[in-house]
Amino acid sequence: MNAGIPYTSGKITISGFGELTDGGSDKDMFINGGEFYNYGTLDCDGFLLESGYVFNSGQMLLDSLWTRDTMDNQGPITTFDFLNDQNGKFISTEPITVTHNFANQGVFSLSGTEMSVANNFSNCNIASSDATANITNSILCVENDFLNCGTDTLRGNGEIYIGGNSTNAGEVEGSLDINTGTGGFTINTGTVEGTVTFGSSGCHLGFDEEQKLDISFYPNPSNGLITLSSGNVNYSLVDISGKTIQTGISNSNQLDFTTFSTGIYFLELSRD
């Protein structure tokens, strides 16, 4: 099937053995409402999410990815450019490869995975709201320049490797391990928490698969009751702003979040 589709309502699903491609004709997929689920392969020039919800556990091969609403990514993505716009809410638990530039203006989260950016990375929103990048139990490698703008926040406990210049004018929080050529930011006019560490190691992509949890959960989306494939798991529930609102240990295979308001949340799982 050739892509070149403006989509405004309802639901599109690509099955596990399905493929949606532009046939090499540089066509875009434009989502402006409704829901899009990919369990197979999506191969097109551009994927633009103006509004609606996107879930991906398949493979996405793109020239550009632009998100302005909620996208839950659980499959590998390769794209030339990637923009998460100021209304974008993007979370990924699987590898992302950006072969040119990445820019975040909204809420962007990596959880238990890795991301490579072949050129520049920016976490900046100078228009209206603040940008937040959460790097949790993940590796981020930026081959060229890195920028965290004023009023914007970089947080988490992952590893970041920067090959070019690095500028921080915002806030850096958590227990991030940041590696640059000089062992610190090239320019820092912002705030860096004392729990953040700096080094000068080079990028080493290749997330340790033994550290990744072989745990699944369902349903997604849910009504607040989540079933895990196994118990004895540490969990954190994070809201769309990146704030952790509940942590604990699941001694059974079920989590109950029905007391929380309806909305979009991210569930992070780990074991000691």
Give me the pLDDT at residue 131, please: 94
Give me the pLDDT at residue 7, please: 58
Q: What is the pLDDT of residues 65-97, one digit of tens each?
A: 999 999 999 999 999 999 999 999 999 999 999
Q: What is the pTM of this model?
A: 0.78
Q: Which residues contact 272 (CB under 8 A, 6 or more apart)?
A: 234
Give me the pLDDT at residue 2, please: 42
Pick the more confident residue, 69 or 28.
Answer: 69
Mean pLDDT (the chain, rounded): 87
pLDDT at 134 over 80: yes
Residues 162, 180 contacting (CB under 8 angstroms)? yes
Band of pLDDT at residue 9, cut at 50, 70 and 90: low
pLDDT at 214 over 70: no
Pick the more confident residue, 124 or 216.
Answer: 124
Residues 162, 178 contacting (CB under 8 angstroms)? yes
d(CA 37, CA 53): 9
Band of pLDDT at residue 208, cut at 50, 70 and 90: very low
SS3 124: coil
The 10 Å Cβ neighbour count of residue 201 is 11
Give me the pLDDT at residue 254, please: 86
